[in-house]
Structure 1
């Protein structure tokens, strides 16, 4: 009997490439009776190892049971030791790879399991077949290599499917978590005609059940009973007659609209739970009767409908959870708004606190919903470049919003949502950090004043560096937010000099080697002062403090960074710092004439300085000279 029974030429090539041959499989097959006795002990030891890893143990507990996985794994190892590979074997391994991908098992862990498997198998085989162990292991390793190729294909296909249909992928995951299966969908399909046929009886029982439960609730006195019941009746008929449950993406749109009613506080979330319970109760009252007792599948249909209801409520909960958090923690000093990610930036919802904030800022738009967030809040015509939604980041974006009373500082951050809803929506919160920001800036300004007081050369230099850095950033094509940040951040480039002794800082002559090493530490001191302050503009200042003495060719300090390893803000300040310093009188030198400074900067092109930035700077040389004079 042939051990390889595969019809696909591509798969035959893969088998040959991984070293799976008829002769090798036949060799293992001859020892199969001995090898099969080892299966239980091998698999038990493998899962002892797996169970000892916290993340894998949690994953197993979330998706299956240890005993079930052991049973499946024993069946797989038996197949390997039977040493026959056919089309069914390949199809099964591929589907298992897809299943693991879809439930979210990390590919690296999945492949690492094979390596651990090999070690355990060799240990057990060598105890009973010491002379044949190596040869047998090579065959099993070849089979595993082939299986890993199938697994990689399965994971890749799953990723492509996820990218092409992200909503379907997320909904399928939620279905699995809530135990709503493909068999349940088939059951609903068979139940649909029954529901349409008995719709009047169902609605009668639903009516009594729902309003009996709602009597205890004060939220729904406004509910128009007849209108609502007509809506539910039409929904059930259309939903089951047109089999909307088969098209989860279409059903998601319905659930999204229901969720809006909760988000906009037109309904309390428990209303939908009550409605679902009432509908399930109505179905039981209609169908669990003598009239249907002859049909044993009716109970299965009703259980499938109950799981479908649970899945529906779970989907709604995934959508509304962050909004409920905002409602329940209303005492927090945050303001919330929602934007469309499909029609990017269009405001689709704002909370009451955000409405009040807009009025405080003097933004008196009668209908803010429907406007673009960047137009309404930031007076921009295009999206903000640091927008957390565009950047897909959890870090806050610092912005300044002002009125006649002056500027206020705000952090805008993306609030985590379910992946289902964030495919079309993003929920952002604004936090007023004016007080803490002003405290930070006040503290840094005082440090800067201290540095200026100790070093006369610093006084006007730092303010010129801020303005000149903003000019070069704009010339380099940076956005206005970057420009405004670097104008502030660049001023703090030498703030670390507060940690350098006076005798070194103001020494008129050349520094000794030891003194120079001490002077170089000002970049690290400056970075340490700034790095832990949680404002984006100060984080930029920390980067500048640390990197403005790095050289394009890697010859600078403190870390020998080179090229674009040096952040853009550091490369910009490196140029304007040298430009201004050479044109200034210092205790250890006279001011250089402009043409000499231009020559020195050009000589540093591609060595000390970013060549593109230097070219831009020198192309506008007269403008920078004139600007420097105006900033004196």
Structure 2
């Protein structure tokens, strides 16, 4: 008897890779009775383990029950232990994969479960059969399970591809199920769509009368535009049977969301608009038709289910906007961008409109342009754009430079429903300019104090900022990093405010005790800066702590080595030594440039990052000119 009955060349090629043969299947059949006697024990052991895993237990309970799942697995193992590999067998494996994928059991779960089957079977067979026979039988079973796995992986891949191509389909199905909407409802709407449009004028007239009695006075302006719109909408919507086109419905509901939000339509009024339509429709149809006509009653029920479905989506879409409106007293503004046409503004709130108008920019003209162009005067998306990060709780600090002053905005992506974020992101920015200025003023006051106590500090920190920027540019760092290090590097020695004057300005060599005290300036600087929230100041804290670490791990305070030292610390380490050696200090005269170059070359790979050192030395003359220019200029300030 032939157990391998596949004719498809593609599947035969897959079978050959798994090691599945007519002989291996015959071997399984020879031990069929023994294997079938083990089915209950194998299934009980495996699924008792799975049920102890919380997220798997939830999936099992949500979609079936443990006993039903065990029964299904017993049936599966019975097929594996008496296998006839034909088209029906492969099709069943494919269906198993689709079912698992749809309920949330991912591919790694299926593979690990498959391997666990093999481990349990191996242990049991080892106790019942001679070693060689048990191994040969286990190899045959593994070949069968591997073939099953190939079929199942194809099913998983098909489901995932389908989700990627049609994400709306899966989201809409989920919401339809929650609303009680079924395919039968769509068929009923098809049958009665002509009757609805035939009676539409009468429905809308009565709808207007009822609404005007119920709607608050402050919503009358909205109603003037809403009534004619809803009439045209319903006519076209049911003429074209648009409820069958999920993508079109999605776009319509998104447009409604922005309009509802802009007109300040609250949830109570929104629900009233839907409920009143259902009520009026029912009254009109029941007056005109026989009350006992079953079809009309079914149509009214289906229409109500569909309208409730639309209302549920609208409310999901509106949640984040409602939340932002509640906190409108905060110094925040929000805007929505397209992800398909990245950064294109599709909606701006009132505060954002006022912000742009204060800058002399028309808010209405800004919709359709790029958010980074409109708000931050950039030609490319902002570094670290929160719309591109995976963690939507992460914020990014963006600086807007103008001739008058710099402004600082902390921006993050606002959480929406999965359906809402299929093609748009809602971004929220908080103007923290005043907070940033307080932080900078505080830190710069400490820098002024350090400069007052050490005549060299003021000139030195300005040079370090310029030199660090140039080395960061040479190293190919990104724009944000370069921008930040120019500010952050200036605070590298701010911890010297905590060092006694007797040590800080001592003309001679420091004693070992004095040197240990001097080294504490890195920790003092880090403690001062690390408590301040701005990212640029956080970089300054990192530089303060690490610019005396050495590439070979012999530096201080933590003996970090190589790339354990953050890049900003490695950059400032080089330019700090370079400038310090070229400068006059209380304890020394300036070194000659040739001597400084020799010291830096000697420090490559021991004191300094070798790659950064090579870059620095490759532009030695340019760095030397910059240092001299800044030194000469400072003498005339």
Q: Deviations over 1:100-140 (max 9, x none)?
A: 44555444344333344444555666787798766554444
Work out whether 1:467 is the aligned partner of 2:466: yes
Q: What secondary structure is seen at the aligned counterpart in 2 of 1:4?
A: coil
The structural deviation recorded for 1:537 is: 0.8
Q: What secondary structure is seen at the aligned counterpart in 1 of 2:47?
A: helix
Give the match for residue 249 of structure 1.
247
Q: What secondary structure is seen at the aligned counterpart in 1 of 2:427?
A: strand
1:548-567 alignment runs, 5 A limit: 548-549=547-548, 558=558, 560-562=560-562, 567=566
Alpha-carbon separation, structure 1, partners of 2:490 and 2:574: 14
Give the match for residue 627 of structure 1.
630
Give the match for residue 144 of structure 1.
145
> Kindly tell me: are residues 376 and 589 of structure 1, through their superposed partners in 2, closer, same or farther at Cα, counting changes over 3 Å?
same
Q: 1:369 aligns with which of 366, 369, 375?
A: 366
The structural deviation recorded for 1:326 is: 0.5
Give the match for residue 334 of structure 1.
332
1:343-358 alignment runs, 5 A limit: 343-358=341-356
Does structure 2 retain, via aligned residues, the 8 Å contact 1:196–1:237? yes
Work out whether 1:196 is the aligned partner of 2:188: no
> Kindly tell me: are residues 460 and 64 of structure 1, through their superposed partners in 2, closer, same or farther at Cα, counting changes over 3 Å?
farther
Alpha-carbon separation, structure 1, partners of 2:92 and 2:503: 75
Alpha-carbon separation, structure 2, partners of 1:79 and 1:185: 35
Give the match for residue 485 of structure 2.
486
Alpha-carbon separation, structure 1, partners of 2:94 and 2:111: 14
Q: What secondary structure is seen at the aligned counterpart in 1 of 2:2?
A: coil
Q: What secondary structure is seen at the aligned counterpart in 1 of 2:626?
A: helix
Q: What secondary structure is seen at the aligned counterpart in 2 of 1:316?
A: helix
Q: 1:384 aligns with which of 378, 382, 385?
A: 382
Q: Deviations over 1:72-101 (max 9, x none)?
A: 444433332332333333334344434544
Does structure 1 retain, via aligned residues, the 8 Å contact 2:413–2:425? yes
Does structure 2 retain, via aligned residues, the 8 Å contact 1:505–1:519? yes
The structural deviation recorded for 1:336 is: 1.5
Give the match for residue 90 of structure 2.
90
> Kindly tell me: are residues 157 and 584 of structure 1, through their superposed partners in 2, closer, same or farther at Cα, counting changes over 3 Å?
farther
Alpha-carbon separation, structure 1, partners of 2:203 and 2:38: 60
Query: How many residues of Structure 1 are paired with residues of Structure 2 in the alignment?
Result: 619
Q: Which runs of 5+ in 2 are unaligned?
A: none
Does structure 2 retain, via aligned residues, the 8 Å contact 1:180–1:308? no
1:239-318 alignment runs, 5 A limit: 239-240=240-241, 244-265=242-263, 267-270=265-268, 273-274=271-272, 276-277=274-275, 282=281, 290-292=292-294, 308-318=306-316
Does structure 1 retain, via aligned residues, the 8 Å contact 2:399–2:406? yes
The farther-off stretch of 142-151 and 518-527 is 518-527
Does structure 2 retain, via aligned residues, the 8 Å contact 1:337–1:347? yes
1:168-247 alignment runs, 5 A limit: 168-176=166-174, 178-179=176-177, 184-185=182-183, 188-189=186-187, 191-197=189-195, 199-201=197-199, 212=210, 215-218=213-216, 220-222=219-221, 223-224=223-224, 227-228=228-229, 230-240=231-241, 244-247=242-245
Give the match for residue 321 of structure 1.
319
The structural deviation recorded for 1:291 is: 3.9
Give the match for residue 19 of structure 2.
19
Alpha-carbon separation, structure 1, partners of 2:305 and 2:561: 58
Alpha-carbon separation, structure 2, partners of 1:256 and 1:92: 41
TM-score after normalising by structure 1: 0.80
1:462-541 alignment runs, 5 A limit: 462-474=461-473, 481-496=480-495, 508-509=508-509, 526-527=525-526, 529-541=528-540
Does structure 2 retain, via aligned residues, the 8 Å contact 1:469–1:486? yes
> Kindly tell me: are residues 465 and 266 of structure 1, through their superposed partners in 2, closer, same or farther at Cα, counting changes over 3 Å?
same
Q: Which runs of 5+ in 1 are unaligned?
A: none
The structural deviation recorded for 1:382 is: 3.5
> Kindly tell me: are residues 436 and 236 of structure 1, through their superposed partners in 2, closer, same or farther at Cα, counting changes over 3 Å?
closer
Alpha-carbon separation, structure 1, partners of 2:529 and 2:58: 40
TM-score after normalising by structure 2: 0.80
1:28-43 alignment runs, 5 A limit: 28-33=28-33, 35-36=35-36, 38-40=38-40, 42-43=42-43
CA RMSD of aligned residues (A): 4.4
Alpha-carbon separation, structure 2, partners of 1:333 and 1:23: 75
Does structure 2 retain, via aligned residues, the 8 Å contact 1:466–1:491? yes
Does structure 2 retain, via aligned residues, the 8 Å contact 1:472–1:617? no
Give the match for residue 112 of structure 1.
112
The farther-off stretch of 457-466 and 274-283 is 274-283
> Kindly tell me: are residues 522 and 246 of structure 1, through their superposed partners in 2, closer, same or farther at Cα, counting changes over 3 Å?
farther
> Kindly tell me: are residues 152 and 597 of structure 1, through their superposed partners in 2, closer, same or farther at Cα, counting changes over 3 Å?
farther
Does structure 2 retain, via aligned residues, the 8 Å contact 1:347–1:368? no
> Kindly tell me: are residues 46 and 333 of structure 1, through their superposed partners in 2, closer, same or farther at Cα, counting changes over 3 Å?
farther
